[in-house]
Amino acid sequence: LGDVYKRQTINVAADKLTIDTLLPTISSVQSVDNDGNLQNGLFGIGDNINLKFTFSEILTLTDGEAEIGLDVITTPTVSSADIQGIDNFTIVYEVIEGDSSGILTFTGLALATGNLRDDAGNDMAVFTADLGNSLENTSSVEIDGIYTVAFDEGAVITQTSNTDDIIADHWNT
């Protein structure tokens, strides 16, 4: 058959092309102190809470700002200038009057414009935290932004006489 039908071995390069098709996610959301340690507790009006967002990979917000959904009145935002080639960021949320939550819950990010994009060009499609790693799962933060009602003396009813038949053997008899 001659040289025409000989097998040839073609050497393949040691380097391989990797195509990233995984969409980025929010790996976790936590309440942290200034040193990055978990911070739990009850927070009132004027208190600051550091919310740390960690992504599955390095991301860039291409335009605009991201609104951070929480189960309170306040909606903190982060601008595209603050999310450029990072895998996490921390934002300060200040409790305002009217904010109230038994356990502060992260409800998701909202983007009016732009995309959260990884280095391969994949845009985030799910804007909530990975299952079990959202703020309400990782931290125990209670928000009390409700002022107490001022005591009104006129609302107190005083009884000036006792009736032994009704309240016998009690403290005020």
pLDDT digits (tens, 9 = 90+) for 36-53: 999 999 999 999 999 999
User: The tokens of 90 are what?
Assistant: 């921390």
Phi/psi class of residue 114: alpha, beta or left (left: φ > 0; alpha: ψ in -120 to 50)? left
User: The tokens of 114 are what?
Assistant: 């732009």
At residue 18, what is the residue type?
Answer: T
User: The tokens of 75 are what?
Assistant: 């909606």
How far, in Å, CA of 142 to CA of 104, rounded?
6
Q: What is the pLDDT of residue 136?
A: 97
SS3 state of residue 135: helix
Q: What is the pLDDT of residue 166?
A: 55
Q: Residue 35 pLDDT > 50, yes or no? A: yes
Count other C-beta atoms under 10 Å from residue 151's C-beta.
7
**pLDDT tens for each residue of 71-81:** 999 999 999 99
Q: What is the pLDDT of residue 15?
A: 74
How buried is residue 45: exposed, middle or buried, by Cβ count under 10 Å (0-12/13-18/19+)?
middle
> What is the end-to-end Cα distance of the chain in Å, rounded?
123
At residue 8, what is the residue type?
Answer: Q
Task: Enumerate the β-bridge partners of residue 45.
Answer: none
Annotate 9-36 with DSSP letters as a single string. --PPPS-------PPP-EEEEEEE-TTS
Q: What is the pLDDT of residue 16?
A: 72
